Amino acid sequence: MLTSFAFRAKVQVNLVLSVFIRYTIYIMYVEKLEEPVRVFADFSGTKVRPIAFIRGSGRRYTIKEVNLVYRKMVGDRQHWCFACSDEANTYVLFYDPESLQWTLREVQMEG
């Protein structure tokens, strides 16, 4: 049987651990870019889905999941925006259907 002091100590430790576990802080590094990239995309029907892209350094990034797709007006042009992720990072790719150019706008990295 726990004494009153031991019981209070055990409860306080459990509370501290529970607060620590529930409130984990994630630090995200966001890098804003305006970098043209080469994109491998699937144009099936009226939908566009990026599969992979190559940055200027020549490194290939394979997209595991497309998290969000939305349209954004840039001047008088409508761009398609894709928030994509691989196993570690999230990328925002812009596609201009008039010029057929892809741009890497943002990289989000967990730190």
Dist CA 24 CA 79 (whole Å): 36
Global pTM value: 0.71
Which is higher by pLDDT, 20 or 60? Answer: 60
Structure confidence at residue 19 (pLDDT): 47
Which is higher by pLDDT, 45 or 108? Answer: 108
Tokens, residue 53: 């892209």
Concatenate the DSSP letters of all residues of 44-89 into one string. Answer: ETTEEEEEEEE-TTS-EEE--EEEEEEEEEETTEEEEEEEEE-SSE
Please report which confidence band the pLDDT of residue 22 belongs to, taking 50, 70 and 90 as the band edges.
low
| Cβ atoms of 82 and 92 closer than 8 Å | yes
- Condensed to tens digits (0 to 9), the pLDDT of residues 50-73 reads 999 999 999 999 999 999 999 989
- Checking if the pLDDT of 4 tops 80, the result is no
